[in-house]
Amino acid sequence: MIMPPFFRGFRCAIIFLTRVPVGGDGYRDEDWRWSTGWFPVIGLLIGVLLASLWWLCTPQLSPWTIAALSLSVSQLLTGGFHEDGLADTADALGGAYTTDRILTILKDSRVGAFGAMALFGVLLLRASLWVELSDIILVALPLSQGLSRVVPIWLMGSLPYVTRTEAAKSRLVAKAQPAQVLWATLCGFFMLIGATLIELITRDQALFILVAMLVSYGLCYWRFKVRLQGITGDFLGAAQQVSECAILIGIAWTVG
């Protein structure tokens, strides 16, 4: 018996977002489209793994050492998937003035000055925020990892996918339909409301997180619309990185 695409999409999401071997084959286009709805859940699971690592290392290592270790593990888990998108996006938007040139740079595997600066800045910011939030990191990591993967889904639902090749690896995943956008949003809503109800975070923190997500979405939508009239897979990776940092800042803003 073949499982419905809704459930098969969960395994597709693991395959697409991580390097975790889960096996399986014969996935259909609809399975890949439904994978987008599960992105926040995969992010939450990644966050739980990183939080577990932080908890195990806390008695023996300093917060900065654990932060560096956690960054390395997160990149091993995802293959630096989102970081790669951030670097390509920074190079393309920072070094190009025409649509054709943007698309050309996005296809270039080399990292330029804009990409290197963006990577350095975001990695340093994430590590410093993790250290600052070390007292509540076991909550901050799962929430930021899960909720930051909602924003790219919103972009999928509101902007067209503009990569010009049918061979692009993101072409099916990036064409999220309203059903997948709704499910991803509901998953994020359950995370945020659940964490508030069981008092893992305060209502003020929940509000700041929501504002951070909306601001991240608005800024990314504006830039991607102005520069390319749509999204690419790299743009979506960049949006995840931006929204993760914004969510962490939102939490940190209410602490102290």
How many CB atoms within 10 Å of residue 99?
A: 13
- CA 169/CA 52 separation, integer angstroms: 31
What's the whole-model pTM score? 0.94
Q: How confident is the prediction for the chain on average, in pLDDT?
A: 91
Q: Nearest Cα to 171, choosing from 180, 160, 179?
A: 160
Q: What's the pLDDT band for 176 if we cut at 50, 70, 90?
A: confident
Whether 9 and 40 have beta carbons less than 8 Å apart is answered as no
CB 231 within 8 A of CB 214: no
Write the pLDDT tens digit of every residue in 127-164: 999 999 999 999 999 999 999 999 999 999 999 998 76
**DSSP code at position 87:** H
Q: For 211-229, how does the pLDDT look when each residue is reduced to its tens digit (9 = 90+)?
A: 999 999 999 999 999 999 9
| CA angle at 187 for the pair 132 and 123, rounded to the nearest 5° | 30
Q: What pLDDT, on the 0 to 100 scale, is given for residue 24?
A: 67
For the chain, the distance separating the N- and C-terminal CA atoms, rounded to the nearest angstrom, is 54
